Amino acid sequence: MADVSLRGVKKQFGSLSVIKGVDLDVKDGEFCVFVGPSGCGKSTLLRMIAGLEDITSGGLSIGGKDMTSVGPSERGVAMVFQSYALYPHMTVEDNIGFGLKMTGHPKAEIAQRTAVAAKLLQLEPLLQRKPGQLSGGQRQRVAIGRAIVRNPEVFLFDEPLSNLDAALRVQMRTELSKLHQDLKATMIYVTHDQVEAMTMADKIVVLSAGKIEQVGSPLELYHRPNNLFVAGFIGSPK
């Protein structure tokens, strides 16, 4: 587990200023949700925490260590994306363990970590299937399994449920909340869906045009929004 701190974080793409100075503390073990309209910079902010985008200025620390210029694989984070490209020719088991195999982990350890992840995600009966034989929700669980086996201190999710149908989204919300309780890891979860944010978060960060509008618990944001943008955004599920 680890806390994540951002100080004065900015991002420019050429002359386009996308993140305009973000200060944020995500506590150890917290489920923190970034919510905001499309294009406000949620993915960019998450990718900077993951190390997939450079930080133009400002600082980032994870678990008290300065990570501003540290490579993605050294940060103790794992990211789960919206489009979960699994290897179609490999079994679920091999998909989950593939990253560990690439980084030279011994077979027995890969098998053990894969078994733990499969149990957490209820994938045990499906380990010998290929991705083509799975439902959308099961595939997304495999993608989450690939993150879990790396034992990250921080999980980063970028709209992981937006390709799923409504009923499955509701089910996966519950599963992800349960997973958070089981793993007790720090999780940062990006969504443009207010209902997801309100039901899953310990802490919600409302973003608009590259700036934080408000940070608070779901109840705080609902009862004491700082401004009309937050009130309108939290108050109007799509």
Positions touching ligand ADP (CB under 6 A) are 13, 16, 18, 36, 38-44
Nearest distance in Å: CB 41, Mg ion? 8
Looking at the Cβ atoms of 2 and 84, the one nearer to ligand ADP is 84
Nearest distance in Å: CB 213, Mg ion? 17
User: Please, which residues have CB within 8 angstroms of residue 104's CB and are 6 or more apart in sequence?
Assistant: none
Q: Is residue 32 a contact partner of residue 188, using CB atoms and an 8 Å limit? A: yes
Distance CA 141, CA 189 (A): 15
Distance CA 204, CA 215 (A): 6
Nearest distance in Å: CB 189, Mg ion? 12
Which residue's entry shows tokens 């409504």? 166
Looking at the Cβ atoms of 19 and 126, the one nearer to ligand ADP is 19
Q: Is residue 152 a contact partner of residue 185, using CB atoms and an 8 Å limit? A: yes
Name the residue among 72, 77, 39, 42 with its Cα closest to residue 156.
77
Q: Which entry of Mg ion, ligand ADP, none binds 82, CB below 5 to 8 A by partner kind?
A: none
How many CB atoms sit inside 10 A of residue 178's CB?
11
Name the residue among 8, 40, 2, 11 with its Cα closest to residue 22.
8
Looking at the Cβ atoms of 43 and 114, the one nearer to ligand ADP is 43
Nearest distance in Å: CB 218, ligand ADP? 20
Distance CA 103, CA 169 (A): 32
Looking at the Cβ atoms of 8 and 39, the one nearer to ligand ADP is 39
Q: Which entry of Mg ion, ligand ADP, none binds 180, CB below 5 to 8 A by partner kind?
A: none
Nearest distance in Å: CB 43, Mg ion? 3
Looking at the Cβ atoms of 43 and 194, the one nearer to ligand ADP is 43
Looking at the Cβ atoms of 44 and 138, the one nearer to ligand ADP is 44
Q: Are strands 186-191 and 154-158 parallel, antiparallel or unpaired?
A: parallel
Name the residue among 57, 77, 76, 78 with its Cα closest to residue 10.
57
Q: Which entry of Mg ion, ligand ADP, none binds 18, CB below 5 to 8 A by partner kind?
A: ligand ADP
Distance CA 226, CA 112 (A): 48
Q: Pattern 21-60, binding to Mg ion, x per CB under 5 A? A: ----------------------x-----------------
Q: Which entry of Mg ion, ligand ADP, none binds 177, CB below 5 to 8 A by partner kind?
A: none
Nearest distance in Å: CB 178, ligand ADP? 26
Footprint of Mg ion (CB under 5 A): 43
